Amino acid sequence: MAAVGILTVGLVASSGISCRPAPAEDAGERTIYVQATELDARRTVEQDPFPQETVEEFPEYFGPGDDPFERGGAPGYYLFMTAEDEWRIGSYMFVPQEVIAYQGERITMEILGVRGAHHENVLLDPDGEPVAGPDGTDIVFTVRRGELHVIEFTTEKTGIYTLVCVTHQPTMTMNIHVLGR
């Protein structure tokens, strides 16, 4: 996990993206670029033995196949044998997973479907209620692999807004921490 953290810091530093929020006097409009993606690894049993103890200890998350709806596990994780000598492990997520914004900002989010066939999403406010877009309807949408979906909303409340992929819970959630001015 340390290598992932170093890689993330390196990517952020080299991309010119700031991890700090804009000063309050600059609050107004912000575009957030998001990927709906999947971390995925394949290993041969020669490289690493299949972690059967994980499957047995956490049956609510993992099962014998990669279709979570057939095996009853959580669709956010998967761990299964792909062949007699190969196994696969993965998890779905939004990148980035945490963003800071200010109360009153008009937010545009561009969500790109990178991995996973489809992601059914809802944006929730700090009270757990769906957020309405500029047209007054709740922001509930599906993004598919290869699609770019754009949503717009205003951060009316302070607290944590949550973008949730209901297809891939519990792992696929993005938090937007909204600070007061």
Of residues 74, 67, 88, 165, the one with CA closest to residue 124:
165
Is residue 83 predicted with pLDDT exceeding 90? no
Q: What is the pLDDT of residues 105-157, one digit of tens each?
A: 999 999 999 988 889 999 999 999 999 999 999 999 999 999 999 999 999 99
Q: Does the pTM of the predicted model rise above 0.85? A: no
Q: Find the range with the poorest average confidence among 16-20, 61-65, 93-97.
A: 16-20
DSSP state of 31: E
Of residues 180, 92, 176, 95, the one with CA closest to residue 139:
176
Domains in the chain, CATH or no CATH each: 21-37+93-179 (2.60.40.420), 41-91 (no CATH)
How confident is the prediction for the chain on average, in pLDDT? 82
Distance, in Å, from the CA atom of 117 to the CA atom of 143, rounded to the nearest integer, reads 9
Is residue 8 predicted with pLDDT exceeding 90? no
pLDDT at 171: 84
Q: Is residue 68 reached through a cis peptide bond, with omega within 30 degrees of 0 on the bond before it?
A: no
Cβ neighbour number for residue 125 with a 10 Å cutoff: 19
Report residue 43 as tokens.
Answer: 């290993």
Q: What is the pLDDT of residues 16-33, one digit of tens each?
A: 444 455 554 556 898 999
Question: If pLDDT is split at 50, 70 and 90, which confidence band does 162 have?
Answer: very high
DSSP state of 180: P
Distance, in Å, from the CA atom of 35 to the CA atom of 95, rounded to the nearest integer, reads 5
